[in-house]
Amino acid sequence: MRIRRLVFAVLIAFAGVAVAVPTVVLGATSAGSVTARVLIPKRRLTAGSEMKATVEVRNTTGQAVSVVGCGSIFQVALTSKKVTPMVGWLACAQTITIPTGTSKFPVMVSGKYSSCGEGIPGPACLGPGQVPPLPPGRYGAHLYQNPTVAATPRSIRIVVTSAKT
């Protein structure tokens, strides 16, 4: 059975700006699958800092999988019972191809809130454009995809530690 794709754009109006959010649905295939895992070098992160990580995608479908996205289709953000990130995506339409075999995509893991300001969920900004650090504690490094090309793997436990002052 071939992979079936349904690509469509959803328009979201936010602050008077329309943003196209492409989405993909992959059908099941008996010949193979697309899987993803997150590779993080450390399990501790200082509040306010960031570290490089990698999303490793394995495509065993026997054919390249092409999707419409913008820049990277992967992000890794820290989540907890008290912190839910607002993951945003660039709005453009580029063809992104996941080749057969194993591919690696670089991502950053941030020890800061994903957003700040007045009138939105989350903390106040520290100053113009200055997003505050996450509070120390246990978090899950969660993979976000837009569009979804693989089953989302389990989150990886990360401990955010206090910034040294």
Domain hosting 25: range is: 5-40+52-108+134-157
Inside any domain, residue 46:
no
Query: Which of 134, 136, 88 has its CA nearest to residue 113?
Result: 134
CA pair distance 15, 105, nearest whole angstrom: 31
The most distant pair of C-alpha atoms in the chain lies apart, rounded to whole Å, by 58
What is the separation, in whole angstroms, between the first and last Cα of the chain? Answer: 58
Give residue 31's pLDDT: 52
For the chain, give the mean pLDDT.
81
Number of domains forming the structure of the chain: 1
pLDDT value of position 81? 93
Which segments within the chain are labelled E, that is strand? 5-14, 17-26, 34-39, 44-46, 50-59, 65-69, 74-79, 94-98, 101-110, 137-145, 156-161
What predicted TM-score, i.e. pTM, was given to this entire model?
0.77
* Each residue's pLDDT tens digit, 109-139: 999 999 888 777 779 899 888 999 999 999 9
Q: pLDDT digit string (tens) for 83-98?
A: 999 898 888 999 999 9
Give the model's pLDDT for residue 24: 34
Cβ atoms of residues 160 and 47 within 8 Å: yes
- Does 124 map to a domain? no
Q: Is residue 103 part of a domain?
A: yes
Q: Which residue has the higher pLDDT, 127 or 162?
A: 162
Q: Which residues contact 37 (CB under 8 A, 6 or more apart)?
A: 55, 56, 153
pLDDT band at 165 (very low <50, low <70, confident <90, very high): low
Neighbours of 29 (CB within 10 A): 16
Asked, for residue 129, whether it belongs to a domain, the answer is no
User: Is 116 contained in some domain?
Assistant: no
Tokens 């520290």 belong to which residue? 126
State pLDDT tens for residues 36-74.
Answer: 999 999 999 999 999 999 999 999 999 999 999 998 999
At 13, is the pLDDT very low, low, confident or very high (cuts 50, 70, 90)? Answer: very low
Q: In which element (H, E) is residue 37 found?
A: strand 34-39
The answer to whether residue 99 is domain-embedded is yes
The pLDDT of residue 26 is above 70: no
